[in-house]
Amino acid sequence: MVNSEAIDSASSVSTARYLLACVLFVTYLVILGVAYNGVWQIMLNFRYSKGKKTRQEREIGMNESLEGVSIIRPLKGIDPEMSSCLESSFVQDYPSDRFEILFCVDDPNDTCIPIVESLLKKHSHISARILVSQNYNEVSRTSDEHFGPNPKVNNLAKGFLAAKYDIVWVMDSNVWASSRVLKRSVRCMQQNIDNGRPVHGKRSVKLVHHAPMAISVADTEYSLSPISSGSNFASSGSNGHHKRILKKFGAKLDEMFLLTSHAKFYTSFNNLSVAPCVNGKSNLYRRSDLDHAVSQIPKRGHSSAFFNSPEVLKDAFHFTSLGPGHAIKFFSRYIGEDNMIAICLWENVLGRTGMTGDVVVQPLSGEDNSVNDYFERRTRWLRVRKYMVLAATLLEPATESILSGIYGNFAITTLFGLGAKDNQYFYWPLFLIHMSIWITTDYIQYYVLIDSAVHSDKLELLPAWMDSKSLPPLKRSFFDWSLAWLGRELLALPIWVAAIVGHEIDWRGRPFRIKQDLTAEEL
């Protein structure tokens, strides 16, 4: 006789597997939908077409209606290719009497100041100046303009108060933008459009941002072939060669992350506009909108999902009561001020984000860019996001190619009979198809963005490190590219685990802890 308990147990396991497969199959379809929506948006809006103007460029029209803009660039130390990155603000295709550039520096002896001064002399027809913090203390690395643990916001605050115009373009010191970005961004906000298409619904574009890219710019430093003996990192033997690769491979991983996984989901979330998703490399918004948004925080009280603790409500009231331009100081309490600003505009002025089909490019030199450096950077920002959007952070591994391929494979083999033989849970041909499609679309997307950056401006305005004849990404073999891609994919899950189990954040050499109200506390 057949044991009835064994039959019931087998039936229960089969039912549980089927229900789990249903959940995972839906998850798999949603992840693929979001991911490939991002790929489609990149193909549609970022692809370079020679001799063809984009829809938004055709809509730009006359310059008379363009509003004034204050470009604010916080500086600290010297970044790779810093001069060309900063100079990109001076050569914007925008009426010169309608924008200004404010360079914000804490330390009056900062090594970046001579670079800025040379640019001020070179472009004397542009309204630009350096703003230095008052009473800077070299020991504590703080000044009288210290409002919270976030040094970038503390540095920016004087720029917001000195800004001549309501629209501010906050741009990190280590990124380059083409000369067309400012005009397109202002039109995006003025005409309420996102990537050239009108925005409909109750939300309007209140923050314009640009897809962040990183490009490794030193060919010999990033090549997997042995580095010449004249290199600073040269050493004898194959062991030394492997050490050199690991020391500089982090830059390739950064580049790969921003141009593949990050780019597709970043553009997709912006297009879907279900919640803000903003990187602070290059953001444009109205100072008056930010003032008003922060002033609404105390009025909303505990109804806000993000701004609800007594200290937060008190600070929001205090800084907005100081007058126009002071609201930026409120965000000095947060490590991820960029996304918190976007959330504040989203919650309190019904604002959404918009993109222009432009990228901003961070050149990476390879110095201090080891695999461990990359691992720590990604871990740090995942820990910040863990407190901002816990549910999304917990689900993040499901968006990665390898893990999604595994659970998608299990779901499909269960639901569609591929696993019927010997109770199979995994079907290798299906997994290989999944991974082949993923790497192919990543490869195409990667070079669409690279091509977009290389052809984003007039030849005479492109910096030397973006010369298409020598740019390392354009010279790499598929083998070199695929090694970086595979390294990025394999490290995704270990980085996520490290971020979830840890609580402290090492930021610019200082340890921080994120509190329950999302504010940061320096340890």
- Which strands sit side by side in the sheet containing 211-216, from one edge to the other? 176-177, 359-364, 211-216
Contacts 24+ apart (CB under 8 A), 121-125: 122/87, 122/90, 123/87, 123/90, 123/91, 125/96
Distance, in Å, from the CA atom of 425 to the CA atom of 415, rounded to the nearest integer, reads 11
CB distance 270 to 355 below 8 Å: yes
Distance, in Å, from the CA atom of 150 to the CA atom of 507, rounded to the nearest integer, reads 9
Beta strands 167-171 and 282-286: pairing type? antiparallel
Nearest-CA neighbor of 471 among 173, 214, 125, 205? 214
Taken in order 436, 438, 439, 442, is the CA torsion positive or negative? positive
SS3 163: coil
Q: Which residues of 377-406 are buried (b: 16+ CB within 10 A; e: fewer)?
A: bbbbbbbbbbbbbeeebeebbebbbbbbbb
Helix (H) / strand (E) containing 124: none
Q: What is the pLDDT of residue 421?
A: 56
Both structure tokens of 522: 């320096």
Half-sphere exposure of 260 (CA within 13 A, CB side): 25
Taking residue 353's Cβ as centre, other Cβ atoms within 10 Å add up to 25
Q: Which residues contact 444 (CB under 8 A, 6 or more apart)?
A: 43
Q: Which residues contact 459 (CB under 8 A, 6 or more apart)?
A: none
SS3 478: helix
Residues in the chain where the model's pLDDT stays below 50 = 1-2, 5-10, 52, 55-56, 59, 220-238, 240-242
Catalytic: which of 107, 172, 338, 442? 338
Angle between helices 237-259 and 478-501 (to 10 degrees): 80
Beta strands 127-132 and 99-105: pairing type? parallel
Contacts 24+ apart (CB under 8 A), 427-430: none
Residue 79 annotated in active site: no
DSSP state, 105?
A: E
Helix spans in 46-180 (H)? 55-59, 82-90, 113-122, 151-162
Helix (H) / strand (E) containing 177: strand 176-177
Both structure tokens of 480: 């070199």
Q: What is the pLDDT of residue 335?
A: 82
Distance, in Å, from the CA atom of 515 to the CA atom of 523, rounded to the nearest integer, reads 12
CB distance 248 to 366 below 8 Å: yes
Distance, in Å, from the CA atom of 433 to the CA atom of 428, rounded to the nearest integer, reads 9
Both structure tokens of 199: 């925005």
